[in-house]
């Protein structure tokens, strides 16, 4: 019976599977970095205090992209193109979740409503990132090189999640509560379906690289679908709750140095 841990062990042990895993992760992080960098540049004057935090958020995501690329380099591997069906960030953007890339490429300043949209989208996707990294920490415990990289990313993702909660609570108190609730729910509903589809696509690509029998692939797809049903029936609520984090002002420090 395959478990998440044994599946990831198979992926880490196979060069082509590991290359695809790190390439998908690096690409998603880099896209997140670009989005946040643009948002930081376009913050409206009323929300200027947020600009350094959004810039820091973007710098962290860029750093995560470099960390995954460094893991590839250490094994003597080059990144491969990301199959479009596994591109979580692009699929969210295409579904209209978060701010459109056309909007971010323009030079026009964002509105306060755009900032709410950005933070609500991030609240949902950072929950996912935080949970995924916590799971990966467990799966990589006996692989020190990968574990060190995942630990660094995991700490950042927890900070991003704390920051989104704190800033959304501030904006909710300032009168945006209703739109925040609505945006969070819409983002969560779209995200859980896209996460399911992307997970199935990633596992289908891994299955063909690793030569999995049909029954094993079918079992994994059924597991992913079952998790989606859990999220659809109420698990999604954990992605939209707002709680003041224990760690306040988690993104107040300087941007990370380009060490990798
Ligand atoms: Fe990240
Ligand atoms: Fe993040």
Give the DSSP per-residue string, 178-222.
Answer: HHHHHHHHHHHHHHHHHHHHHHHHHHHHHHHHHT--HHHHHHHHH
Share of the chain above pLDDT 70, in %: 97
> Which has the higher per-residue pLDDT, 252 or 94?
94
Check residue 112 and give its pLDDT: 95
Centre of ligand 1 to C-alpha 16, Å, is 22
pLDDT in tens, 118-164: 999 999 999 999 999 999 999 999 999 999 999 999 999 999 999 99
Check residue 122 and give its pLDDT: 98
Centre of ligand 2 to C-alpha 160, Å, is 5
Centre of ligand 1 to C-alpha 213, Å, is 32
pLDDT in tens, 163-218: 999 999 999 999 999 999 999 999 999 999 999 999 999 999 999 999 999 999 99
Centre of ligand 1 to C-alpha 157, Å, is 6
Helix axes 15-41 and 177-210, enclosed angle (nearest 10): 160
The chain-wide mean pLDDT, for the chain, equals 96
Centre of ligand 1 to C-alpha 60, Å, is 7
Which ligand is the nearest neighbour of the Cα of 62? Answer: 1
Check residue 258 and give its pLDDT: 56
Sign of the CA dihedral running 214, 20, 192, 157: positive
Centre of ligand 1 to C-alpha 49, Å, is 22
Centre of ligand 2 to C-alpha 61, Å, is 6
Is residue 253 predicted with pLDDT exceeding 80?
Answer: no
Which ligand is the nearest neighbour of the Cα of 126? Answer: 2
Is residue 236 predicted with pLDDT exceeding 60?
Answer: yes
Centre of ligand 1 to C-alpha 87, Å, is 14
pLDDT tier at 107, thresholds 50, 70, 90: very high
Check residue 11 and give its pLDDT: 97
What's the token pair of residue 108?
Answer: 């026009």
pLDDT tier at 260, thresholds 50, 70, 90: very low
pLDDT tier at 255, thresholds 50, 70, 90: low
Which ligand is the nearest neighbour of the Cα of 121? Answer: 2
Centre of ligand 1 to C-alpha 64, Å, is 5
Check residue 217 and give its pLDDT: 97
Check residue 259 and give its pLDDT: 44
Which ligand is the nearest neighbour of the Cα of 153? Answer: 1
Which ligand is the nearest neighbour of the Cα of 160? Answer: 2
Is residue 53 predicted with pLDDT exceeding 70?
Answer: yes
Reported for 133-138, long-range contacts at CB under 8 A and 24+ positions apart, including other chains, are 133/157, 135/4, 136/8, 138/5
Centre of ligand 1 to C-alpha 228, Å, is 22
Q: Which of 122, 195, 130 is nearest to 164 (CA)?
A: 122
């Amino acid at each position: 019976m395959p478990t998440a841990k044994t599946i990831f062990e198979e992926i880490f042990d196979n060069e082509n599977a590991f290359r695809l895993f790190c390439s998908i992760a690096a690409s998603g992080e880099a896209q997140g970095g670009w989005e946040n960098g643009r948002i930081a540049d376009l913050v409206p004057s009323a929300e200027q205090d947020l600009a350094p935090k959004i810039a820091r958020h973007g710098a962290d995501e860029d750093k995560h992209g470099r960390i995954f690329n460094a893991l590839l380099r250490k094994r003597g591997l080059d990144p491969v193109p990301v199959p479009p069906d596994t591109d979580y960030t692009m699929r969210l953007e295409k579904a209209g979740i978060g701010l459109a890339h056309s909007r971010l490429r323009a030079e026009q300043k964002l509105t306060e409503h755009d900032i709410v949209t950005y933070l609500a989208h991030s609240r949902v996707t950072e929950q996912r990132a935080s949970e995924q990294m916590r799971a990966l920490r467990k799966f990589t415990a006996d692989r020190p090189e990968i574990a060190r990289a995942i630990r660094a990313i995991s700490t950042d993702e927890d900070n991003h999640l704390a920051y989104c909660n704190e800033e959304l609570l501030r904006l909710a108190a300032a009168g945006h509560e209703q739109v925040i609730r609505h945006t969070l729910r819409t983002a969560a509903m779209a995200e859980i379906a896209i996460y399911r589809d992307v997970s199935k696509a990633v596992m289908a690509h891994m299955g063909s690289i690793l030569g999995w029998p049909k029954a094993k692939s079918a079992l994994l797809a059924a597991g992913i679908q079952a998790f989606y049903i859990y999220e659809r029936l109420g698990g999604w609520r954990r992605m939209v709750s707002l709680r003041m984090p224990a760690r306040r002002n988690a993104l107040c420090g300087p941007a990370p140095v380009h060490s990798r």
